[in-house]
Structure 1
Amino acid sequence: MSGSRVTSQSVRYRERLWVPWWWWPLGLGVATLIAKEVNMGVRTLPPWLPYAVLGAVAAGVLLWLGRTEVRVIADGSAVEVWAGQAHLPASVVRRSAEIPRTAKSAALGRQLDPAAYVLHRPWVGPLVLLVLDDPDDPTPYWLISARHPERVLSALRS
């Protein structure tokens, strides 16, 4: 078995930060409205074409907006937090906390350190705060959007 590696990775927590369900009818409604305008202005197109193209574009944009994932993965005794494409070993997390929706604007506003890593999705209420203790990393902390921050913190600590 050369070239292959057997790992004992287990996903402790996984959450995809999808857009809210009500964005879908809104997005498809806007696409329908624009398609109707195109049909009224360009009579040489087949009538179904603007609806198909703009409906697919709207669906693609909504899926693209909800592509981000937050994960906590354990590989043996090592635990890592993944936020989008960035990952962080739990061994460098000194403190962690949940930032409720009510404190979100302060955490992302006047209290935000410009060197912090932020994965923010406006449609997700609470945040997870991970304060780092890594002398090799200039990032003081991570702020990550999560619908269930208590589950992220529990998976990180267990």
Structure 2
Amino acid sequence: MQKTSRGATPATTHTYRERLTPSLWTLGAATVVAPMVALVFVPFDKTLGLVAGIAVSVLLVAALIAAAPRVEVTDGQLRAGRAHIPVALLGDAVALTGAEAREARGPGLRRDAWHLIRGGIDGLIRVPVLDPDDPTVEWVVSTRTPDRLAAAIRRARVRTADRD
């Protein structure tokens, strides 16, 4: 980590951060579990059934949100879920929405690319990998704001190039 002139370490610089949470429809559908669980426990005790149904529903929604992957550009790295790659090894990011994004997620999806695709999120970016030793040719990542993510990758690449 780099040191500043006073000897302190600089704070982490997040130029972009997003959590790919499930859509409201998905979260709403997860709450349907509450009456189902309640029906199982009602023969034993109505209060127990109500409490168990609400608890299971809340835990399921919390698990869906907590398990949602993050996409971020920070400290010269693009992180998507558990994977990360230095932005210096990436080409120019292309933001896709609408029909272009559907094509990229469907017939245009390359088998030798790395994917983080989430249903219910329309936009995505496509970023070529410039490292000749990497068998992955590009990253395809879902995002709600593809223009902002592509711009953050470009800014991080410029910053990284300026440091070198």
Shorter-chain TM-score: which interval?
0.7 to 0.9
Deviations 1:102-150 (A, max 9, x none): 2233212222221211001112111011011111100000000111111
Higher relative strand content: 1
Q: Which residue of 2 aligns with 1:69?
A: 70
Give me the CA root mean square deviation: 2.1
Query: CA shift at 1:8, angstroms?
Result: 4.8
Identity %: 25
Q: 1:50 aligns with which of 49, 52, 64?
A: 52
1: CA distance, partners of 2:94 / 2:54: 45
The amino acid that maps onto 1:151 is R
| Unmatched runs of 5 consecutive residues or more in structure 1 | none
TM-score for both structures, normalised by structure 2: 0.77
Q: Structure 1 residues 55-64 or 135-144, which shifts more?
A: 55-64
Residue 118 of structure 1: SS of its match in structure 2? Answer: strand
Runs of 4+ in 1 over 4 A off after TM superposition: none
The answer to whether structure 1 residue 113 and structure 2 residue 110 are counterparts is: yes
TM-score for both structures, normalised by structure 1: 0.80
Residue 48 of structure 1: SS of its match in structure 2? Answer: helix
2: CA distance, partners of 1:126 / 1:17: 11
Q: Is the 8 A contact 2:71 2:81 kept in 1?
A: yes
Q: Is the 8 A contact 2:72 2:80 kept in 1?
A: yes
Query: CA shift at 1:49, angstroms?
Result: 4.1
| Unmatched runs of 5 consecutive residues or more in structure 2 | 1-7, 156-164
